[in-house]
Chain A
Amino acid sequence: MIGSPAISTRDLAKRYGAIQALAGLTMTIPRGAVFGFLGPNGAGKTTAVKLLLGLARPSAGEGELLGQPIGERSSRRRVGYLPELFRYQPWLNAREVLALHCELAGIDRSAWPREIEDALAVVGLADRGSTRVGGFSKGMQQRLGLGVALLGDPELVLLDEPTSALDPVGRHDVREIIRALRERGMTVFLNSHLLSEVEQVCDRVAIVDQGRVVAEGTLAELLRGDTVRLRVTDLPRDASLALAAFGAVDAEDEWLTVRGIDVDRIPELVAAIVGQGGRVHAVEPRHESLEDRFLRLLGGA
C-alpha cells in the first residue's frame, strides 16, 4: 500500500524457551529512510529481521511490511534481504543464483539479463558472474548476497550486518551502495553493530539491547548533548545565579559551562547573558559521539 510506512511493529516479541530474544518492539520506519538498527551481538537484531520476514513467528505482537501483515507472502513481494548468515547454492554460478532469485521474486523474465548484469556490476562481481559460488571467498559471497537483495528494484531492503565479511574497501563500497539506494528513494533497514557504519549512512537509528529498544530517533536527536560552553566577558559576578534556571552553571576564567540544558533554549540563554550585560564571544554546544551514547545506554560508561 502506497502511503503506509515501510515497516511498522507493535509490541513485537519473540521468546525462545527461557530466552527473551526480542521484547515488545514498537517502531515505525517511514519510506525512503535509511534506518540503522544498532545493538551489541545478541541484542535481538537478527531476530527482529526474521520476524519481519516471516522466517520466525512472533510470540506476541504484530507488524506490517509495506502495509502487509508480516508473515504473509504478499508482504515479501517488494523486499530484498541479505541475511547475516549469507550462503548461496555452491553448485550454481553467480549468474544462476541471481536468475534463481529473479524467478523467486517474480521479476519478468525479459528483465532478467539486465537485472543480473546490473546487480553484478553494482556489487563489483561483473567479471565473476560465471564462477561457481562454491569457489567464492566469504567477502565475494556477501557481495553476491547484496546483489541478490537489490534485484527487481525492491521498495525495502533489509541488510543484516552487510559488511561483516568485507575488507575496508568492501565496506566503503557498501556504504556507497546504501547512499545510492537512498537517492533512489528505497527504504533500507540496516542491522549493524558497527557504529561508524551506522553513523555514516543512517538517517534514523534505534539502539537495541537485550531485546529492547533503548533509544530511537534521528542521529541529530540521539546525539544531541545537554551541555553548552560559552566564552563570555563583562558578566557581573552575581549573574550566574540568574542563569541557574537553564542548568548547572560552572564559570572558569572567560568560559561558562552550562550542563543539563535543553539545547533548544540556548538562544534564550544567550539573550539572558546579554541582558545581564555580558558579551558573548563563542557558543559551543557539545555533541555526544554515537559511541559515547551507545556505551552510556548500554550501561558501559
Chain B
Amino acid sequence: MLTLTIARLTVIEMLRRRLFLVLIGLTLLVVLLTTWGIAQVASTPSRPMSRVEQIAVVSQLLIMVGFMFSFTVAFSAVFAGAPSLSGDVESGTALAILARPISRAEFVLGKWLGVVITIIVYSLPTTALQLFLVDRVVQYVPPHPLEFLFFIVAEGVVILTLAIAISTRLAGMVGGVVALILWGVAWIGGIVGGVGLAFGNTTATHVGTATRLLLPTDGMWRGAVWALEPASVIAAIRAAGSGAADSPFFAAEPPDPLYLAWTFGWIAAFLAIAIWSFDRREI
C-alpha cells in the first residue's frame, strides 16, 4: 500500500514543480499553433484541395505533430523520472523515508507509478485536445485515436522505466542522458531496420529487429504512426514501392500482439532490475 503513498507524493511533486506547468503551457500553445497551421494548409485559396488530398496532407502533418508529442513525452518522462529516485538519495530526502517500515521495492514502484500517472495526466488531455481541434477545423479524425494515445504513453513508460533503472545507480542527469541517447539509437535502429526490409538487406533488418527488442520505444512510436494513418495513405505508400517503407514516419502494420506482450514484459523486467539494483544501494 505504501507504493500508492509514494506514487501520490511523486505526482504532487511533479504537479507542484514549475517544470510541469511550463510544459503544459508550452504544449497548449503548440497545439493551438499547429491547429491554426493545419487549418491554413488544408484551405489553400489558390488551388482548392480535393478531400483525398486534404486527408493525405492533414494526416501527414498530424504524424509530425504526433512525433512532437512522442518526443516531448519521452523527454519529460526521462527528465522527470531519472532524478525522482537519485535526486532523493543525493539530497538526503530518501533517508527519512527509507528509515520507515517501507521496502525499497515499494519506494521504486511508487516513484515509477507516480511518473507514469504524471505522463498520462500530461499526454492524454493535450493529445486529445489536439485531435479534437483538428477535427473541428478540418473535419478529420485519424483512424485509431485511442491507439495513438496508448502508444504515445507506452513509449513514454518504456523510456521512463529505463531511466529509472539507470538512475538507481547513476546520478539523475547521467541516467537521463544515457536513456535519451539510447532512445535516439532505437529510433535510428528502426530506420535501419526499415531500410533492410525495403532493400532485402538481412544484416540491416536484424539490426532493426535487435534494437526494437532491446528498447521498444521506436516500436511503440511506429504503433502511434500506424494509428494516425488513413487506409488511403497506407495504400498509396505501398503502391509507391518498397522505398517509402524505410521512413521513420510510416508504419504499414500495427505492432503485433506478440511484440506488445514483449514490450510489457520488457517494462516488467526493467522494473525488476530497478528494484533489485536499488535494494542493494547504500543510502
Q: Which residues of A contact B (CB under 8 A)?
A: 50, 53-57, 73-74, 76-77, 79, 81-83, 85-89, 91-92, 100-101, 103-106, 145, 148
Contact partner of B100 (CB less than 8 A), chosen from A76, A88, A89, is A76
| Contacting residues, chain A, for B101 (C-beta < 8 A) | 73-74, 76-77, 104-106
Report if B50 contacts A (CB, 8 A): no
Q: Is the CB–CB distance between B95 and A85 below 8 Å?
A: yes
Q: Bound complex: CA of A2 vs CA of B95, how far in Å?
A: 27
Chain B: number of interface residues, binned into ranges: 20 to 34
Q: B202 an interface residue at 8 Å Cβ cutoff?
A: no
- Interchain CA distance A103-B100 in the complex, whole Å: 10
B44 in contact (CB, < 8 A): no
Return B172 CB to nearest CB of chain A, in Å.
15
State the 3 A-B residue pairs at the shortest beta-carbon distance, nearest first: A85-B92, A104-B100, A87-B92
B-chain residues with CB within 8 Å of residue A91 when the two chains form the complex: 12-13, 16-17
Interchain Cβ contacts under 8 Å between A and B, 25 examples: A54-B99, A57-B280, A57-B282, A73-B102, A73-B103, A76-B100, A76-B101, A79-B99, A81-B99, A86-B96, A87-B91, A87-B95, A87-B96, A88-B96, A89-B13, A91-B12, A101-B100, A104-B2, A104-B100, A104-B102, A105-B100, A105-B101, A106-B101, A145-B96, A148-B96
User: Which of B9, B93, B95 has a CB less than 8 Å from the CB of A55?
Assistant: B95
CB distance from B187 to the nearest CB of A (A): 34
Q: Is A86 within 8 A of B103, CB to CB?
A: no
Kindly state whether residue B121 has any CB partner on chain A within 8 Å: no
Residue interface mask B95-121, A partner, CB < 8 A = 1: 111111111000000000000000000
A91 to B21, CA, bound (A): 14
1/0 per residue B10-21: CB within 8 Å of A?
Answer: 001100110000
Is B283 in contact with chain A by the CB < 8 A criterion? yes
Q: Does B5 contact A (CB under 8 A)?
A: yes
Collect the chain A residues with CB atoms within 8 Å of residue B92's CB.
Answer: 83, 85-87
Assess the B99–A53 pair: CB atoms within 8 A: yes
Tell me the interface secondary structure of chain A in the complex: loop
A71 to chain B minimum Cβ distance, whole angstroms, is 11
In the complex, which residues of chain B have a beta carbon less than 8 angstroms from the beta carbon of A56?
Answer: 282-283
* Bound: A74/B91 CA distance, A: 26
Residues of A near B102 (CB, < 8 A) are 73, 104
Report whether over half of chain B's contact residues are helix, strand or loop; otherwise say mixed.
helix
| Chain B residues closer than 8 Å to A103, beta-carbon distance | 2, 5
**Which residues of chain A are near B91, meaning CB under 8 Å?**
87
Query: CA–CA, A81 to B282, complex, Å?
Result: 17
Q: A55-B282, A91-B16, A104-B2 are in contact. Are A81 and B103 (CB under 8 A)?
A: no
Residues in A whose Cβ lies below 8 Å from that of B9:
89, 100
Cα(A101)–Cα(B2), bound, Å: 11
Q: Which residues of B contact A85 (CB under 8 A)?
A: 92, 95
CA distance in complex: A53, B99 (Å): 6
A9 CB, min distance to chain B CBs, angstroms: 17
Smallest CB gap from A104: residue in B: B100
Identity of the chain B residue whose Cβ is nearest the Cβ of A134 in the assembled complex: B16
A48 to chain B, nearest CB (A): 14
Residues of chain B lying within 8 A (CB to CB) of residue A53 = 98-99
- Contact pattern, B 67-111, Cβ under 8 Å of A = 1, otherwise 0: 000000000000000000000000111011111111100000000
20 other A-B residue contacts (CB within 8 Å) besides A50-B283, A100-B9, A104-B97 = A50-B282, A54-B98, A55-B95, A55-B98, A55-B282, A57-B280, A81-B95, A83-B92, A87-B96, A88-B96, A89-B93, A91-B17, A92-B12, A103-B5, A104-B100, A104-B101, A104-B102, A105-B100, A105-B101, A145-B96
The answer for the CA separation of A57 and B282 in the assembled complex, in Å, is 7
Residues from chain A with Cβ under 8 Å of B97 in the complex: 104
Most-contacted residue by chain A among B13, B91, B282 (CB, 10 A): B282
Residues of A within 8 A of B283 (CB): 50, 55-56
CA distance A104 to B101 in the complex (A): 7
Which residues in chain B, 256-283, are within 8 Å of chain A measured between CB atoms?
A: 280, 282-283
Distance, CA A105 to CA B96, complexed state (A): 11
Contacts of A145 on B, CB cut-off 8 Å? 96
B residues within 8 A CB of A88? 93, 96
Contacts of B2 in A (CB 8 A): 103-104
A50 to B89, CA, bound (A): 13
User: How far does the Cβ of B156 sit from chain A's closest Cβ, in whole Å?
Assistant: 22
CA distance A50 to B96 in the complex (A): 11
Q: Which among A56, A79, A82, A104 has the highest number of chain B CB atoms within 10 Å?
A: A104
CB distance from B5 to the nearest CB of A (A): 5
CB distance from B113 to the nearest CB of A (A): 16
Contact in complex: B95, A100 (CB < 8 Å): no
Contacts of A54 on B, CB cut-off 8 Å? 98-99
**Nearest chain B CB to A240 CB, angstrom units:** 59
Q: Which residues of chain B have C-beta atoms less than 8 A from A82's C-beta?
A: 96
CB <8 Å contact, B282 and A83: no
Name B1-55 residues within 8 Å CB distance of A. Answer: 2, 5, 9, 12-13, 16-17
Closest chain B residue, CB of each to CB of A160 = B95
Complex: A74 Cα to B103 Cα, angstroms: 10
Contact B5 A100 (CB under 8 A): yes
CB within 8 A of A101: which of B12, B16, B96, B280? B96
Closest chain B residue, CB of each to CB of A75: B101
Q: By CB atoms of chain A within 10 A, which of B91, B98, B101 has the most? A: B101
CB-based contact A83/B95 at 8 Å: yes
